[in-house]
């Protein structure tokens, strides 16, 4: 006689979906204001962090709010540079040049490789 199938709780389903989204990768958007030194630093820092800690598991889109003001307005960007982690949930926002690697990793829920 086959063993009874245990139904998954909503929490178990959510945790599985969360684990799957982390396995599939991170979706990041960096909002900048033109090619200012601060914007350039933010781009350089986040690319370095992603290549070191998320290599092959991230998608990074850089958006210049001067060229796409409607996108910035829709995302309610009030300071730049701003990095938004869309996936995996929860959504997070980090503001600044992203030079503090530990704070960026904590904000992304990524922990350094030992």
pLDDT at residue number 108:
93
The Cα–Cα gap between 107 and 110 comes to 8
**CATH architecture of the domain formed by 25-108:** 3-Layer(aba) Sandwich (3.40)
The Cα–Cα gap between 114 and 74 comes to 38
Cα 36 to chain centroid, rounded? 22
Whether pLDDT at 4 is above 80: no
Could you read off the pLDDT of 13-64 as tens digits, one per residue? 656 655 555 556 999 999 999 999 999 999 999 999 999 999 999 999 999 9
pLDDT at residue number 10:
73
Given a contact cutoff of 8 angstroms between Cβ atoms, the answer to whether 39 and 66 are in contact is no
* Helix-then-strand count for the chain, H and E: 4, 4
Break the chain into its structural domains and give their ranges: 25-108
- Comparing 109 with 24, the larger pLDDT belongs to 109
pLDDT at residue number 111:
72
Q: What is the rounded average pLDDT of the residues 66-88?
A: 94
Given a contact cutoff of 8 angstroms between Cβ atoms, the answer to whether 42 and 75 are in contact is no
88 phi and psi angles, rounded to 5 deg: -70, 155
- Comparing 113 with 60, the larger pLDDT belongs to 60
The tokens for 36 are: 């200012």
């Amino acid at each position: 006689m086959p063993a009874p199938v245990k139904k998954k709780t909503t929490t178990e389903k959510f945790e599985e979906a969360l684990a799957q989204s982390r396995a599939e990768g991170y979706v990041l958007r960096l909002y900048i204001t033109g090619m200012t030194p601060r914007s350039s630093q933010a781009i350089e820092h986040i690319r370095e962090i992603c290549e070191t800690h998320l290599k092959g598991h991230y998608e990074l889109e850089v958006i210049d709010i001067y060229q796409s003001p409607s996108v910035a307005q829709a995302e309610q960007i009030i300071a730049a540079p701003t990095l938004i982690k869309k996936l995996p949930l929860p959504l997070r926002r980090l503001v600044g040049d992203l030079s503090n690697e530990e704070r960026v990793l904590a904000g992304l829920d990524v922990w350094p490789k030992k």
